[in-house]
Amino acid sequence: MFTKILIANRGEIAVRISRACRDLGISPIGVYSEPDAGAVHVGLSDEAICIGPAASVQSYLNISNIINAAKATGAEAIHPGYGFLAENADFAKAVEEAGLTFIGPGPVAMQTMGSKTGARRAAVEAGVPIVPGTVEPLRSLAEAERTAHEFGYPVMVKASAGGGGKGMRLVESSEELRSAFDNAKSEAAAAFGDDSLYLEKAVERPRHIEIQVFADTHGNIVHLGERECSIQRRHQKVIEECPSPINESGLRDRMGAAAVKLARAVNYVGAGTVEFLVADATRDFYFLEMNTRLQVEHPVTELVTGIDLVREQITVASGAPLSFSQDEVRWHGHAIECRVYAEDPDNNFFPSPGTISYLRVPSGPGIRDDSGVEENSEVSIHYDPLISKLAAWGRTRSEAIDRLRRALDEYEVGGIRTTLPFFRAVVRDEEFRSGKLDTGFISRFNARRDGARATESGKQDPEGRLQEDLALIAAALHFVRLQRRATGAGLPAADNQSRWKMGGRAALHDGRSLIGGGSKGLRDK
């Protein structure tokens, strides 16, 4: 077994991995960017190495600095967490070439699944159903027109290098195809440096259900059941559950068997997730993509199966067989997780960076909060604004929701806006409680929650793209100001008023300050 593991990540997932290391008697080694020197994950490490300045490309994505940090501290293995380098096959290769163990699948399985068309071909070869469509990148608009006609509209145009919805367009009719094709192509080129696209028939009102798989180096492959991830906003999951509230008998076994078959076909090792779309009407399921990492939402599976996925990742990477067999996996009760983001739900989920001036974290029966922050933590615009994952377990879905509601009401975060008020409304929503979830839930919920405003902005900006652009512009302006300040260049006088100033005072809409004074009434609650 390893004596030291370097954790190549930050925030709540670095904390989570550090805890698994401690449980195994392994020394966790941290890495951090300059502004993260005082971060929670650093304090929980035995040693920590600075790997560069704030920008991720220079720190958490800096392969050589991370490998040098592992060598300098004598770590034998590197856990990448999720995001950053977690699905970068070149990183996995570089780690192995440095004589270290990469805690994850081999680079070949990673590369196969990294190409969405390659993943579709692997699924076809393994006999796993895919959404009807192309399995090679489209060579031209003419080919897109031909195949769309062949499979029938509506279709989805997706980026081969994508995943998670980036570079994806829904196309309802042939008239819309050209612009969707062009837009998806440039979005894919900008996001992935690869503009190749493929095409799928659109599944209407789908549910998004994923299967957790686990494989060891001895040929054992098991599944740990499903997670329901249909509640998404702009292709970002916001609430995840295990089991799926609408799982019917037999579906878990069939989807689990398909996921294991696919993992076996690519010689998978470690934790992986196979995503499926499930058609509402027929309950047919189709392979979507496979994520070759530990996922954000892994705690709901842990709460229901009692299996520590991160511990198992580490023991499997050290060469040990899986600590359980498929027959020993049991699903007990129900778990639901909310992703608590530093975003303002009353302002189209604009990022809300700043200092956490006050924090009260809920606990009690059935509650788990995986957090990466504490009082006085800085939430930076440089990184993902996820501050914690609040999960509730109950014997039934209804009991889990009751506990989640209680925990959300207990939770207080001062100094920044968070998505907590949004979740407090969701757990009180009748449709959510009924469990009839599909991918249209969020837009129906938003319409119910703020009918007037939703219809008003919906007319001009049905997808909220204008709002999204404004958020990007605000973030870019903020970044320019930071750069100017760093280089000593003159700052606009208005900067004192900016809501986006890092380490500055987050202002309310009416100009009141959210921090300072510690007044309870000004917290996000």
Token pair, residue 446, equals 């938003």
Intra-chain end-to-end CA distance of the chain, in Å: 46
Other Cβ atoms less than 10 A from the Cβ of 150: the count is: 13
123 is a site residue for ligand MV4 (CB under 6 A): no
Number of residues that bind ligand MV4 (CB under 6 A): 15
> 94-117: string of b/e by CB count within 10 Å (b at 16+)?
bbeebebbbbbbbbebbbbbbbbb
Residues within window 425-444 making contact with ligand MV4, judged by CB under 6 A: 439
- CA-based nearest residue to 391, from 360, 414, 413, 364: 364
Q: Is 364 in the site for ligand MV4 (CB under 6 A)?
A: no
Site for ligand MV4 in 258-317 (CB under 6 A): 277, 288
Options 109, 131, 260, 269; binder of ligand MV4; rule CB under 6 A: 131
Sequence-distant (6+) residues with CB within 8 A of 304 are: 225, 242, 243, 331, 332, 333, 334, 335, 393
Q: Which of 230, 305, 355, 377 binds ligand MV4 (CB under 6 A)?
A: 230
The closest of 344, 213, 351, 220 to 273, measured between CA atoms, is 213
Q: Return d(Cα 117, Cα 124) in angstroms, integer.
A: 11
Candidates 22, 146, 235, 465; binder of ligand MV4 (CB under 6 A) is 235
How far apart (Å, rounded) are the C-alpha atoms in residues 432 and 438? 10
Provide the minimum distance between the beta carbon of 181 and ligand MV4 in the complex, in angstroms, as a whole number.
Answer: 16
Indicate the residue among 277 and 367 with the shorter CB distance to ligand MV4: 277
Determine which residue in the list 40, 77, 180, 202 makes contact with ligand MV4, applying CB under 6 A.
Answer: 202
Task: Write the DSSP assignment of 440-504 as a string of letters.
Answer: THHHHHHHHHTHHHHHHHHHH-TT-HHHHHHHHHHHHHHHHHHHHHHHTPPPPGGGGG-TT-TTS
Of the candidates 109, 115, 120, 108, the one whose C-alpha atom is nearest the C-alpha of residue 160 is 115
| 3-state SS, residue 300 | helix
User: How crowded is residue 447: how many other Cβ atoms within 10 Å of its Cβ?
Assistant: 13
How far apart CA 525 and CA 516 sit, in angstroms, is 16
| Residue position matching structure tokens 């209680």 | 406
Q: Which is nearer to ligand MV4, 102 or 286 (CB)?
A: 286
**Residue in this structure with the two tokens 């989570």, named with its chain if needed:** 16
Provide the minimum distance between the beta carbon of 74 and ligand MV4 in the complex, in angstroms, as a whole number: 40
Shortest CB 336 distance to ligand MV4, Å:
16
311: tokens are 């511990």
Provide, rounded to whole angstroms, the least separation between the CB of residue 402 and ligand MV4.
Answer: 26
For ligand MV4, give the closer residue by CB, 341 or 411. Answer: 341
Q: Which region among 49-57, 229-237, 417-425, 515-523 touches ligand MV4 (by CB under 6 A)? A: 229-237
Looking at the Cβ atoms of 156 and 335, the one nearer to ligand MV4 is 156
Q: Which is nearer to ligand MV4, 206 or 394 (CB)?
A: 206
For residue 120, give the amino acid letter. R
Beta-ladder partners of 368: 391
Of residues 10 and 120, the one with the C-beta less far from ligand MV4 = 120
Asked if residue 209 binds ligand MV4 (CB under 6 A), the reply is no
| For ligand MV4, the closer CB: 465 or 520 | 465
Asked if residue 388 binds ligand MV4 (CB under 6 A), the reply is no
We find the least distance from the C-beta atom of residue 199 to ligand MV4, in angstroms, to be 9
Q: Which of 95, 197, 203, 271 binds ligand MV4 (CB under 6 A)?
A: 203
403 in active site: no
Catalytic residue, candidates 169, 233, 293, 481? 293
Bridge-based pairing state of the strands 270-278 and 236-242: unpaired
Rule CB under 6 A: choose which of 74, 99, 152, 164 binds ligand MV4.
Answer: 164
Under rule CB under 6 A, residue 239 binds ligand MV4: no
Minimum CB separation of residue 90 from ligand MV4 in Å reads 24
CB of 201 to ligand MV4, least distance (A): 6
Contact status: 213 vs ligand MV4 (CB under 6 A): no
For residue 462, state whether it binds ligand MV4 (rule: CB under 6 A). Answer: no
Looking at beta carbons only, is 284 or 374 nearer to ligand MV4?
A: 284
Residue 197 is a binding residue for ligand MV4 (CB under 6 A): no
Kindly state whether residue 365 participates in binding ligand MV4, applying the rule CB under 6 A.
Answer: no
Smallest gap from residue 164 Cβ to ligand MV4 (A): 5
Phi, psi (degrees; rounded to nearest 5) at 302: -65, -40
Binding segment (CB under 6 A) for ligand MV4, from list 48-56, 175-183, 203-211, 371-379:
203-211
- For residue 243, say if its preceding peptide bond is cis, omega within 30 degrees of 0: yes
The token pair at 426 is 């969701």
Q: Smallest distance from the beta carbon of 95 to ligand MV4, in angstroms?
A: 29
* Dist. CA 308–CA 224, nearest whole Å: 11
DSSP-derived letter for residue 219 is: S
Q: With contacts defined by CB under 6 A, name the span among 187-195, 198-206, 214-222, 259-267 that binds ligand MV4.
A: 198-206
- Positions that interact with ligand MV4 (CB under 6 A): 131, 156, 164-165, 200, 202-203, 206, 208, 230, 232, 235, 277, 288, 439
Residues catalogued as catalytic: 293
